[in-house]
């Protein structure tokens, strides 16, 4: 991140959670709380006046929920970076938010260090989905030999599994004793074979086609 502070808007209908998170993030030298909203309507009104770098968005809110707010906000400001905050890690929530275009997904029981990591990752252009969430999504899946949309090699499947665990390319290289450059190439091949645009879409693809097993 640059020397400028990251401007953050928090949208959540639980006042105690919202103000507590704002207070914690506000203690960071590189973060600035640009506003707070208690529902999607207030968020859109706030976005008419403020241009945040990051929006932390709850799903379950009155008047206008997070799904509708995210759709409307991204339709008007396509470059807006949204990180979803949710009490739930169900597949439908994750899939729907990813398809809308959010850049991250955090469970509300995440610690403040994870929230900071997510914000910094998304600001640097890398989607962030908490490892706990990803592991929960794939934990009950088994490998499927009839998922023939993509013919992945054994090595590519190994790397796909690590991607679904939330590991970075460097961490995958360390785990599999190969170079980061090799992981970069395999990752690009996996994306091409599965016709996925990014890591978030790739994880959704892997889950839906039961290509991974934990």
Tell me the per-residue pLDDT of 133-143, one tens digit each, with 9 for 90 and over.
Answer: 766 665 544 44
Is residue 65 situated within a structural domain? yes
pTM for the structure as a whole: 0.69
Are the beta carbons of 137 and 144 closer than 8 angstroms? no
pLDDT recorded at residue 58: 93
Domain final residue pick, 76, 95, 129: 129
How confident is the chain (214 residues) per 10-residue block, as mean pLDDT?
Answer: 81 94 90 94 94 93 93 94 83 78 88 90 84 63 45 88 82 93 93 81 74 55
CATH number of the domain within which 197 lies: 1.10.10.10
CA-based nearest residue to 10, from 70, 85, 60, 118: 85
In this structure, the answer to whether residues 31 and 125 fall within a common structural domain is yes
What are the backbone dihedrals phi and psi of residue 107, each rounded to the nearest 5 degrees, phi first? -80, 145
Can you give the residue range of the structural domain that contains 56? 6-129
Strand order in the sheet with 128-129: 31-37, 6-11, 54-58, 82-86, 104-107, 128-129
Euclidean distance between CA atoms 105 and 155, whole angstroms? 27
Are the beta carbons of 10 and 21 closer than 8 angstroms? yes
In this structure, the answer to whether residues 59 and 80 fall within a common structural domain is yes
Query: Each residue of 100-121: pLDDT tens digit?
Result: 889 888 888 888 898 999 999 8
């Amino acid at each position: 991140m640059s020397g400028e502070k990251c401007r953050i808007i928090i949208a959540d209908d639980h006042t105690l959670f919202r103000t507590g998170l704002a207070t914690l993030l506000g203690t960071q030298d590189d973060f600035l709380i640009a506003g707070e909203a208690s529902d999607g309507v207030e968020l859109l009104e706030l976005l008419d006046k403020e241009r945040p770098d990051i929006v932390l968005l709850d799903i379950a809110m009155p008047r206008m929920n997070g799904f509708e707010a995210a759709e409307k906000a991204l339709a008007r400001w396509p470059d807006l970076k949204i990180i979803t905050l949710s009490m739930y890690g169900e597949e439908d929530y994750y899939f729907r938010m990813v398809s809308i275009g959010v850049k991250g997904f955090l469970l509300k029981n995440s610690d403040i260090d994870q929230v900071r990591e997510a914000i910094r990752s998304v600001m640097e252009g890398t989607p962030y989905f908490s490892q706990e969430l990803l592991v929960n999504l794939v934990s009950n899946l088994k490998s499927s030999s009839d998922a023939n949309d993509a013919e992945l090699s054994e090595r590519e499947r190994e790397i796909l599994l690590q991607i679904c665990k939330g590991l970075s390319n460097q961490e995958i290289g360390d785990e599999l004793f190969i170079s980061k450059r090799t992981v970069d190439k395999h990752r690009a091949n996996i994306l091409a074979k599965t016709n996925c645009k990014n890591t978030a879409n790739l994880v959704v693809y892997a889950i839906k086609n039961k290509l991974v097993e934990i």
